Structure 1
Amino acid sequence: MAPTGGGDLERSCTSAVSDSIKVAPASGGIERIEAHFHGDAFEPHRHDTYALGLTLQGVQSFWYRGLVRYSQPGNVIVLHPDELHDGAAGTDEGLRYRMLYLPPEMLIGALGEKRRGLPFVPSPVIADRAFAASLGDAMRDLDGAIDTLQLDDVLTGIADALGRHADAAGMAPGRNYDQAAIRRTCDFLQAHFDRQVSSDELETVSGLDRFTLARQFRASLGTSPHRYLVMRRLERARGMIGSGKSLVDIALETGFSDQAHFTRHFKKANGMTPGRWANLRSRA
């Protein structure tokens, strides 16, 4: 089955390539990559974002929610925030795919009033031409950023597609959480990712007591304020890898106490060490 994203996403490779990761410029908080792998690629890890992907060549194999899953070219992959998973090439041919990492707070506005939490898609591998085309458009140009107008289209298409495939319980209206308070908290954590942030500060910013904030934050975004802060540090660190700075300097500049602390968190969130990530980026 051919990929349905169109354009350069439909081209197949005629010869084997070295394992590599290409990282697109940041686009309003969305991260995008293209990866080539043979054998095992990622150890078990968790994101605090939706991971939305297109398998382009080969078979994509990954463990998710207790089962090994397989994605063929043209399939869409949907991994819910904070779900443990790994990744590998399912055949000796190797694997090529593109992935978009979408912060759930960016999705909430596009979902509209029809739901108040995050849509959960039970099957992580989906055959949906419209969904694949929407993701293909968003990931076609990895050399440029997604402009503001296109970003609105991307978020709308993703919200609609997740709604089509979410389970009935996941699409039922939930409690009316204070989304403005959660948004203020996200903005504050993004602005102060490189230092320690206290619960007192978040109470002042959000207007909620720390326990109410923790419950509403997790219910709305699938993660805790602390993990959200750590993941923003890692997001910034990934963008700095390849800049010529040492991993020690990157660790300290992004709020980690030392390189070992940085490496532990990076591996938990990305399934590989920052050193391996840097090596794979250099081959793209």
Structure 2
Amino acid sequence: MNDWLRHGPVTDGIELVEAFFQGAAYGSHRHDSYAIGLTMAGVQSFRYRSAMRHSLSGQALVLHPDEAHDGQAGTEDGFRYRIAYLAPELLQQVLGGAPLPFVDGGVSSDRRLVRAAAGLLANFDAAPGSMELDDALVDIATALRQAAGQRQLPGGDFRAAHIAREYINDALHTRLTLDDLARASGRDRWSLARDFRTFFGVSPHRYVTMRRVALARQSMLRGLSLADAAAIAGFADQSHLTRHFVAAYGIPPARWLRLQGARTNVQDAPRTAL
């Protein structure tokens, strides 16, 4: 197996990944971000919204936040792809509080979307300048809305959802409840839960979990053991983190580190049933 994975330059709210896989790549998992990418070579196959999808070279991948999907090569030659994971709150800077666009099917040949994705993914070896990044985000947000057509999710209170998200970011190491978020935002707890999903694509609980997984991942990349990374991020123990890591990325932490050439003393844990 010649599988590999590398990351692009770090930009707040955007994660760029390029990878090559033969055979099975990822188990079923979900992100709290948009996943927007391009298949560069081969056939990229994945199960998404109860159907098997196939992306060919030049087609765009558009996976909505919190939608389960897996990944595997569609042929024995394997596939290579580039993908950007975009925080919904980053797109909201362009959308201005509009509901997140939903592009059905996971694979699109829409030329506007393919062109916008290519622009976002072009700067893989050097971080883009501020204005260049802003332009790429405007192109992506505009293309997503156009490709989604008239399909809209119910509206809500964007200001309350934004306050709740900022509260979570500032209090990530504390024990959070939906009542805490409701008091901070001035919105009743159930309306806030609906608003949060409308504008950011995931529930408040899942947003907290994913932020903690991201914190643990940063610790692992700095060389901390999986047990220490779990403790720092607020997980009960190593197995608790591993379960959520597999749910977020589709592979165990040790394999994720090895794919990037990082050294680890953590043994592979068995894949967790989702």
Q: Is the 8 A contact 1:58 1:95 kept in 2?
A: yes
Q: Give the one of 157, 178, 193 matched to 1:214.
A: 193
Deviation at 1:54, TM superposition (A): 0.6
What's the TM-score once normalised by structure 1's chain length? Answer: 0.85
Deviation at 1:82, TM superposition (A): 1.1
Aligned length: 262
Alignment-derived partner of residue 125 in structure 1: 107
Deviation at 1:232, TM superposition (A): 1.0
Deviation at 1:256, TM superposition (A): 1.1
Alignment-derived partner of residue 170 in structure 2: 191
Q: Distance in 1 between matches of 2:83 and 2:68?
A: 16
Alignment-derived partner of residue 95 in structure 1: 79
Alignment-derived partner of residue 37 in structure 1: 21
Q: Give the one of 221, 224, 232 matched to 1:245.
A: 224
Alignment-derived partner of residue 77 in structure 1: 61
Q: Give the one of 11, 14, 18 matched to 2:2.
A: 18
1:237–1:201: structure 2 CA closer, same or farther, 3 Å change rule?
Answer: same
Q: Tell me which amino acid in the other structure corresponds to 2:160.
A: A
1:158 aligns with 2:152: no
- Stretch of structure 1 that moved more, 203-212 or 86-95: 203-212
Q: Distance in 2 between matches of 1:239 and 1:95?
A: 27
Q: Distance in 2 between matches of 1:109 and 1:238?
A: 26
Q: Is the 8 A contact 1:193 1:230 kept in 2?
A: no
Q: Distance in 1 between matches of 2:138 and 2:123?
A: 19
Alignment-derived partner of residue 63 in structure 1: 47
Deviation at 1:40, TM superposition (A): 0.5
Root-mean-square deviation over aligned CA pairs? 2.0
Alignment-derived partner of residue 258 in structure 1: 237
Unaligned runs of 5+ in 2: 263-274
Deviations for 1:98-145, whole angstroms, at most 9, x for unmatched residues?
Answer: 1111122222231247xx312111132112344333322322333443
3-state DSSP of counterpart to 1:266 = helix
Unaligned runs of 5+ in 1: 1-16
Q: Tell me which amino acid in the other structure corresponds to 1:264.
A: R
Deviations for 1:168-189, whole angstroms, at most 9, x for unmatched residues?
Answer: 233x8x43x2212211211221
Alignment-derived partner of residue 5 in structure 1: none
Deviation at 1:146, TM superposition (A): 4.0
| Relative contact order higher in (CA < 8 Å, ≥ 6 apart) | 1
1:183–1:151: structure 2 CA closer, same or farther, 3 Å change rule?
Answer: farther
Deviation at 1:154, TM superposition (A): 1.8
Could you tell me the percent identity over the aligned residues? 44
Deviations for 1:64-113, whole angstroms, at most 9, x for unmatched residues?
Answer: 11211111111100011111110011111111111111122222231247
Q: Is the 8 A contact 1:184 1:206 kept in 2?
A: yes
Q: Distance in 2 between matches of 1:194 and 1:96?
A: 37
1:75–1:84: structure 2 CA closer, same or farther, 3 Å change rule?
Answer: same
Q: Distance in 1 between matches of 2:124 and 2:226?
A: 24
What's the TM-score once normalised by structure 2's chain length? Answer: 0.88
3-state DSSP of counterpart to 1:241 = helix
Q: Is the 8 A contact 2:42 2:78 kept in 1?
A: yes
